[in-house]
């Protein structure tokens, strides 16, 4: 399975749209968003992928109530997990959060083949005992070219995708 890992969209509509379209074109069957999507008007863009989206809140996500409400009612492919989340698909486990410190704690359990985080706006990938600790960089394009990461659960390999 291919997982698209995104973070720090910060209401950048066009970059988020390009990231979602690219992820689908590259064969992603799931999107993880590591926070700072920011506003509820970004939800239709993620939902347009037509695949499940799992997201956590970052420090800049504004109306968490409305983001959650809309994901439960109108954009039901999107699931908000709070400050950290965990998914399991076909025996593969991934955990995700916005903050590096929380990601380190999740990775230390060695229960997840992939642990993702955002916040720093910079791509980083580090092998851990059980798998990969991954920051996909940012969709917004603040400090480096905008992009995201693709992770293959079968090979355990990731690659950064510029958009």
Mark residue 117 as left, alpha or beta (left: phi above 0; alpha: psi -120 to 50; beta: remaining). Answer: beta
- With contact defined as beta carbons under 8 Å apart, do 77 and 30 qualify? no
Q: What is the predicted pLDDT for the residue at 63?
A: 94
| Of 89, 138, 87, 88, nearest in space to 117 by CA | 138
Q: What is the pLDDT of residues 35-84, one digit of tens each?
A: 999 999 999 999 999 999 999 999 999 899 999 999 999 999 999 999 99
Q: Report whether pLDDT(129) > 80.
A: no
Structure tokens that stand for 73 in this block: 């009612």
Cα(97)–Cα(147) distance, integer angstroms: 18
Cα(31)–Cα(20) distance, integer angstroms: 9
Q: What is the pTM of this model?
A: 0.96
Task: Say how far residue 142 (Cα) sits from the centre of its chain.
Answer: 17
Structure tokens that stand for 38 in this block: 């920011």
Structure tokens that stand for 92 in this block: 């593969």
Q: What is the predicted pLDDT for the residue at 110?
A: 86
Q: What is the pLDDT of residues 77-100, one digit of tens each?
A: 999 999 999 999 889 999 999 999
Cα(106)–Cα(121) distance, integer angstroms: 20
Q: What is the predicted pLDDT for the residue at 32?
A: 98
Q: What is the predicted pLDDT for the residue at 109?
A: 87
User: What integer is the mean pLDDT of 15-31?
Assistant: 98
Q: Report whether pLDDT(139) > 90.
A: yes
Number of Cβ within 10 Å of residue 81's Cβ equals 16
Q: List domains and CATH numbers for the chain.
A: 2-162 (3.60.21.10)
């Amino acid at each position: 399975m291919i997982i698209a890992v995104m973070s720090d969209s910060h209401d950048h509509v066009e970059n988020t749209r390009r990231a979602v379209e690219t992820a689908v074109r590259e064969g992603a069957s799931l999107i993880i968003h590591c926070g700072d999507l920011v506003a509820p008007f970004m939800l239709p863009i993620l939902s347009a992928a037509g695949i499940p989206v799992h997201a956590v809140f970052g420090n800049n996500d504004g109306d968490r109530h409305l983001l959650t409400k809309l994901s439960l009612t109108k954009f039901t492919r999107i699931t908000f997990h709070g400050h950290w989340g965990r998914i399991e698909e076909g025996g593969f486990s991934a955990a995700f959060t916005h903050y590096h410190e929380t990601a380190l704690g999740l990775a230390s359990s060695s229960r997840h083949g992939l642990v993702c985080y955002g916040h720093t706006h910079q791509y980083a990938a580090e092998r851990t005992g059980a798998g990969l600790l991954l920051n996909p960089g940012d969709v917004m394009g603040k400090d480096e070219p905008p992009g995201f990461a693709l992770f293959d659960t079968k090979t355990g390999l990731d690659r950064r995708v510029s958009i």
